[in-house]
Structure 1
Amino acid sequence: MKASQPYQPLLFRILHGVTGVSLILAILTAYWTYDTYDGRWGRIPLPTYREIEGIHGTFGLYTLLIFPVFVIYAFHRGQKRLVQSDSLAKLTQIGTPIWWYTLNRWMNTLALLALTLALLSGKMVDSEWLPRGELNHAWYYTHLISWVVMVVAIALHLLFNAKVGGMPLLLSVWSRQVREKDSPAHWSAHTAKWWFAVQQGAWKTWFQPMTVPILLELFMLLTIVMAWVLSSI
């Protein structure tokens, strides 16, 4: 591998890939569901397929299940890609490289926030509403809006990553290159070392100090928990 070629950790590529593919399929089936059951704000001539609502829900569930793991990874091992405690101050350096990198971190974080709200609202939508023609529920409207925001957030995420890293950065998440220290053969040892640290009390410092990134992580994880609890109630 060339030294200039961006390298993404294998675990990041796996989590990002599974989340991304599940999300894209959820977005595509979300529009097909809207086109089949709603279409009040325009539609395209897609075939009517009544089972599409259940397929969309399946891909949404896949995304919901993998997302918490991705969030934990993103805010710990991948924290440099997200909003930092000094990100607001760096936005004043308009036009400089750090300004673009900071904007990119904001867009990455925005994509995670948009997906969090989309998953919450989607979990609150009853699967029987659309087949019964019940299109005026507040959670359904919220879910529609959240998916529009999600599409815009993904577009900005790709745009700013292309700006700071070009096509090599965009393609690096699909690379099959694996460095020796990143090999899955070492994962069990890393996990054992992490678990030993937890048993020794390392968890006591996880949220100290309470920074903006930590608050965002807690917000996303608690929102996903709330989605499961509220939908069950």
Structure 2
Amino acid sequence: MSAKFHQPYQPLLLRILHALIGLFTIGAIITAFWTYDVFDGRWGTISLPKFTEIEGIHGTFGVWTLLIFPLFAIYAFHRGQRRLIQPDSFKNLTKFGEPMWWYSLHRLVNTLSILAVTFAVCSGKMMDEKWLPQGELNHSWYYAHLISWLILVICLALHVLMSIKVGSVPLILSMINLRFRSKDSPGLWQENFYSWRSNFNMVIVKQWLSSLSLLKVIEIFVFIAIISALVASVIKEIS
């Protein structure tokens, strides 16, 4: 008799944003290594085909990641904040091997993954697309982008491993399940957005800022970095 797994429910919007950011990020990671292999290769190479257009493809994945990431970050820091670092996370990390230790580690990895994507898109947008084709490999932002690639690969691997450890097969399947509840219907998204916008005011912002937590500080940092990357992107397009 086949085993039955209780599959947790994941909000539809989370599944869509998670799938998009995952797809574009993985595409950026793969094309980033190919770009390095073609134009650099100082720390090792696997001799991939000399496809010089790969840098443009990598840039396209980077742009789409930057466009989707703010929406994903907003969801993650608010509707999905229980999946991120909590006030008692570091305390729970001292309880090695216990279930709460694994859950806290999972939340920490999720938070670090968001920071890793932030670092990657920001450092990428600070680069000039002419550097690598012209053999200019010693720019600080290029080194930062290389480091961000390594950090992102590690965080992605840890994110997958921790998801398997904490939620096993049911958690993985819940992220690709196509079914959704009536309250998650896309037909309600516009109404929910208008309701949120009508209730949003500076009083709410002041109340939110009145009690800063580590997660709120991280959120502020992430959005300042995202805005900086978007501004840098616009400036490069204009100039």
Give the equivalent residue in structure 2 for 1:21.
23
TM-score of the two chains, using structure 2 as the length reference: 0.92
CA distance in 2, matches of 1:138, 1:201: 41
CA distance in 2, matches of 1:182, 1:141: 42
Q: Is the 8 A contact 2:11 2:184 kept in 1?
A: yes
**1:128 and 2:130 aligned:** yes
Give the equivalent residue in structure 2 for 1:96.
98
Post-superposition shift, 1:171? 2.3
How many residues are paired up? 232
Give the equivalent residue in structure 1 for 2:172.
170
CA distance in 2, matches of 1:229, 1:169: 37
Within-5 A mapping of 1:64-75: 64-75=66-77
From 133, 149, 174, the counterpart of 2:151: 149
From 81, 84, 91, the counterpart of 1:82: 84
Aligned residue type for 2:224: L
CA distance in 2, matches of 1:190, 1:230: 32
CA distance in 1, matches of 2:38, 2:112: 29
CA distance in 1, matches of 2:13, 2:97: 33
Q: Is the 8 A contact 2:120 2:152 kept in 1?
A: yes
From 218, 225, 228, the counterpart of 2:227: 225
Q: Is there any run of 5+ residues in structure 1 with no aligned partner, and where?
A: none
**1:160 and 2:167 aligned:** no
Q: Which moved more, 1:141-150 or 1:223-232?
A: 223-232
Alignment root-mean-square deviation, CA: 1.7
Give the equivalent residue in structure 1 for 2:59.
57
Identity of aligned residues (%): 53
Q: 1:216 to 1:200 in 2, by over 3 A?
A: closer
CA distance in 2, matches of 1:193, 1:203: 16
CA distance in 2, matches of 1:123, 1:160: 30
Q: Is there any run of 5+ residues in structure 2 with no aligned partner, and where?
A: none
Post-superposition shift, 1:230? 4.7
| Post-superposition CA distance 1:125-184 (Å, at most 9, x none) | 110001001111111111011101100000001111110000221222111011111111
CA distance in 2, matches of 1:58, 1:195: 31
Aligned residue type for 2:147: I
TM-score of the two chains, using structure 1 as the length reference: 0.94
CA distance in 2, matches of 1:197, 1:217: 21
